[in-house]
Chain A
Amino acid sequence: DAKTTQPPSMDCAEGRAANLPCNHSTISGNEYVYWYRQIHSQGPQYIIHGLKNNETNEMASLIITEDRKSSTLILPHATLRDTAVYYCIVNNYGQNFVFGPGTRLSVLP
């Protein structure tokens, strides 16, 4: 079973920031938080991951709370091409990646 809880769907206006929440209240100290997304009819695409500190790359920012029980993926300026299912996963060495149902993000014009 997935160790994360995400809202099933969200809408975001084009050009605005999309903030996707993820709850992982049972995360252990050495588990990482990963985010992937899957655009329709394509394989999943890696976005970002982190352990404790906030992370930023060219695609997104990852904000992890101090107690590490939740995180938020931020797409700073959402475009129509960001419409996808977003998966939040916690994982550690030796564990299988478990993709839950994710959040279906719809970016609206």
Chain B
Amino acid sequence: DVKVTQSSRYLVKRTGEKVFLECVQDMDHENMFWYRQDPGLGLRLIYFSYDVKMKEKGDIPEGYSVSREKKERFSLILESASTNQTSMYLCASSLSWLYEQYFGPGTRLTVT
């Protein structure tokens, strides 16, 4: 079974802190994705990567950056966390673009 793991299930950070969310997949997938999920807004794509060191902006990239130094690992970075970044963050991976995405369990981030 494909496994996508995220570094934390729950995280509490203060405004202005730099936050790293880590995602690891074990199936040699090419594509990796970061989404955030908010009530009433559904899942929204922040960034995705289709290869090592490659990244593309999704629908809501502002305030975020990403890093993919190794194929299995995709990191989401909040350079200076703000309260409006309090959300559920979901990582996903897929073999290729039209293949199904496998999601991690999510990280619920609270910024105070």
Give the interface size class of chain B: 20 to 34
Chain A residues with Cβ below 8 Å from B100 are 34, 46, 49
Not counting A91-B98, A101-B42, a sample of 7 additional A-B residue pairs whose C-beta atoms are within 8 angstroms of each other reads A43-B105, A44-B103, A46-B101, A46-B102, A96-B59, A99-B35, A102-B42
Q: Report which B residues bind A (CB closer than 8 A).
A: 4, 33, 35, 40, 42-43, 45, 48, 58-59, 90, 92, 97-98, 100-106
**Interface set, chain A 3-58, CB cutoff 8 A to B:** 32, 34, 36, 41-46, 49
Please count the residue pairs between chain A and chain B whose beta carbons lie under 8 angstroms apart in the complex: 44
Q: Knowing A34-B100, A91-B98 touch, does A42 contact B42 (C-beta < 8 A)?
A: no
Chain A residues touching B, majority SS: loop
Give the interface size class of chain A: 20 to 34
In contact, B106 and A92 (Cβ under 8 angstroms): no
Chain A residues with Cβ below 8 Å from B40 are 101
Chain B residues with Cβ below 8 Å from A100 are 42
User: Nearest-CB distance from B96 to chain A (Å)?
Assistant: 9
